[in-house]
Amino acid sequence: MDLGISGETALVLGGSQGLGLSCARSLVGAGVRVAVNGRDPSRLQEAVHSLGDLAVAIPGDVSRPDSRKAIVEQAQEQLGRISILVTNAGGPPPGPVERHSHAVWMQALETNMLAALEFAVALVPGMKEAGFGRIVNVTSFTVPQPYANMGLATGVRAGLTGAMASLAREVAPYGVTVNNVLPGLMDTGALERVYNAQAEREGITPQVAKQRMAESIPMGRLGTADDFGPACAFLCSRLASYITGVNLRVDGGLVQSML
C-alpha cells in the first residue's frame, strides 16, 4: 500500500531500538527520510546502519532541555524541513507512587511529557507553513487503563495526552494531525524492566512474570516491535489525513474498553 509520504522527512525520537526503531523502519519502508535519535552512539549507529541510506543519526538526550534545540537543528541541517515527528523515549521506572521522589517525577515529566511537547512546538510552525504535518506520540496502554506500580508512566502520559488533544484541535486547520499510539505489553526493552521488577517484588522468576503477562492478553501473546511500526507509519501517512486527536491502541485486545 502506498502511504503517500515517500520523500517526506521525519524525526523519530528514541528511535534506536524497540518500538521507536520499528516506527523508523516502517517510515523508511514508505520512502521517508528519517532522522533517528537516541543517546547511546553505538546503538544509534547500529540502528541507522540497519535502516539503510534513508536514515541519519541524531544523537542526544531528549530529557535535557538544552539538547532538544540541538537535536532539532541537526535534523533540519541533515534533512531540511521536518514534516513528521514521532515522539518516544525510554519509559519511567515502575514502582509504587508512594516511593517516587520529586526528582524522579521531574525526570519523568521532562523525558515523557515536556520533551514531546517542546519538539512538537518547535516543528509545528514549519508543518503549518507547508500545509502538511504529522505528530505521533508513543504513550502507553496505561493511560486508558491504569495499573498498580505504573503511576509515573501513567501520570506524565495522561498529562501529555491532554496537551496533545488540545494541540490536535489547534493545528487541524493547517493539515497537521496529532495522534498517540498506545503500546500494550510489547516484548521490548521497556517491558523487560517491568517484568524483572515484578518478579523481584513477587519472588517469582522473570520468565513466570512474563508468561503471566502474556496470558492476560486476549491474543494470548506479548506484542512485538514489528506489531507497532506499521500503525505508527499509517498515522503518519497521507491516508490518515482525516484522523486526528485519536489514541490508537496496539495491544492485542488488552485494554478492556469499548471506546
Ligand X SMILES: NC(=O)c1ccc[n+]([C@@H]2O[C@H](COP(=O)([O-])OP(=O)(O)OC[C@H]3O[C@@H](n4cnc5c(N)ncnc54)[C@H](OP(=O)(O)O)[C@@H]3O)[C@@H](O)[C@H]2O)c1
Q: Is 216 left (phi over 0), alpha (psi -120 to 50) or beta?
A: alpha
| Least distance in angstroms from the C-beta of 85 to ligand X | 14
> Out of 88, 161, 180, 237, which residue is the one contacting ligand X (CB under 6 A)?
88
Paired strand residues for 87: 137
Task: Identify which range of 3-11, 32-40, 120-128, 162-170 contacts ligand X by CB under 6 A.
Answer: 32-40
In the region spanning residues 198 to 257, those forming contacts with ligand X, defined by CB under 6 A, are none
Cβ pair 51, 28 in contact under 8 A:
yes
Judged by CB under 6 A, does residue 26 bind ligand X? no
Task: Identify which range of 31-39, 118-126, 160-168, 198-206 contacts ligand X by CB under 6 A.
Answer: 31-39
CA 27, CA 4: separation in Å to the nearest integer?
11
Which residue, among 26, 20, 99, 109, has the nearest Cα to 64 in the 3D structure? 109
Question: How would you classify the pairing of strands 247-250 and 33-38?
Answer: unpaired
User: Amino acid identity, residue 156?
Assistant: V
| Least distance in angstroms from the C-beta of 189 to ligand X | 2
Task: Identify which range of 2-10, 49-57, 182-190, 198-206 contacts ligand X by CB under 6 A.
Answer: 182-190
CA 126, CA 135: separation in Å to the nearest integer?
12
Cβ pair 222, 214 in contact under 8 A:
yes
Closest CB to ligand X among residues 141, 234: 141
In the region spanning residues 91 to 150, those forming contacts with ligand X, defined by CB under 6 A, are 91, 111, 138, 140-141
Closest CB to ligand X among residues 169, 193: 193
Task: Using CB under 6 A, list all residues that contact ligand X.
Answer: 14, 16-20, 37-40, 43, 61-63, 88-91, 111, 138, 140-141, 153, 183, 185-186, 188-191
